[in-house]
Amino acid sequence: MYKRQVSLDAEGQPSYVIPPQCAWDFLQFSSEFEALASRCQAVCFGTLAQRRDGARETIEAFLTKAENAIRLFDVNLRQDFYDLSMLRRGCALATVLKVNEQELEVLSELLDLSGDPVAALFGRFPMERLLLTRGDRGCILFGANNTKLEGKMISYPAAPDADAVGAGDAAAAGFVIGLLAKMTDGQVLELANHMGAWVASQPGASPTLPAHILDMVMVRTSA
């Protein structure tokens, strides 16, 4: 019996051991998936669920059908569950790339990106935005038209046993929610930074969000 293992360093930064034979290793494309892809507004996908060929083909088929959706590619470079072909295809199918600083370095090396890696990615792939997560320094949002937006650093008092597990995922979720809510890029980035910072201040990957963060979305959508 395998168990997912998460270990934390002295600063609460996580590292992971991902077991084989997970349910998402056996995704199969179906008529229900095809119908969902045609009507969905956003889909987030990463590398882990593509480590088996069949699941990768299913995810690529879904993304191809979801041509009108926001398609966020989260470059999770865990263990050895990725390869050059997967990364190229993921970038080609994405409208948004979400990557941290270490992953950007690896991506730059594997894809042989010269000069500014962010500019090179926009030059090579048809993505619209790139979200760079930087831990407690918050996120930077890059646009295909050479724009760069850096939000204010957000921090919350750390709860007992706080860790950074799920902080990047929370930032990505806030980013997608903001885009769906038709927020401005500045508002989207603010929401992403608040959600990532809050999760990093709490133990576990999915703490309950406080009302003031939820209100950031409600106020924008009701305005």
Q: What is the pLDDT at residue 209?
A: 94
- Give the per-residue pLDDT at 218: 73
> What is the tens place of the pLDDT at every residue in 9-65?
666 566 666 667 777 788 899 999 999 999 999 999 998 888 888 999 999 999 999
State the DSSP H helix or E strand holding residue 99, giving kind and residue range, or none if neither: strand 96-100
CB 91 within 8 A of CB 121: yes
pLDDT tens-digit map of 143-158:
998 899 998 889 999 9
- 96-100 vs 70-74, strand pairing mode: parallel
pLDDT value at 3 more than 50: no
Q: Is residue 187 within 8 Å of 205, Cβ to Cβ? A: no
122 versus 48: the higher-pLDDT residue is 122
Give dist(CA 82, CA 153) in Å, integer. 31
Average confidence score pLDDT of the chain: 89
Looking at residue 2, its pLDDT comes to 41
Which of 85, 101, 96, 178 is closest to 138 using CA atoms? 101
The DSSP H or E segment spanning 45 is strand 42-46
More confident of the two residues 163 and 16 = 163
Token pair listed for 217: 């979305």
**Residue 189 reports pLDDT greater than 80:** yes
CB of 136 closer than 8 Å to CB of 155: yes
122, exposed or middle or buried, with CB in 10 Å at 0-12, 13-18, 19+? buried
**For residues 162-182, average pLDDT:** 93
Element (H, E) at 71: strand 70-74
Look up residue 22 and give its DSSP letter: -
Indicate whether 131 pLDDT > 80. yes
**187 alpha-carbon distance from chain centroid:** 18
b/e code 172-187 from CB counts within 10 Å (16+ = b): bbbbbbbbeeebeeeb
pLDDT digits (tens, 9 = 90+) for 69-119: 999 999 988 767 788 999 999 999 999 999 999 999 999 999 999 889 999
Identity at 155, one-letter amino acid code: S
* pTM, two decimal places: 0.87
Quote the CA–CA distance of 26 and 205 in Å, as a whole number: 24
Q: Which of the residue ranges 4-8, 73-77, 94-98, 202-206 would you say has the lowest mean pLDDT?
A: 4-8
Write the burial class of residue 89 (CB in 10 Å: 0-12 exposed, 13-18 middle, 19+ buried): middle
Residue 58: phi and psi, rounded to 5, are -65, -45
Higher model confidence: residue 166 or residue 20? 166
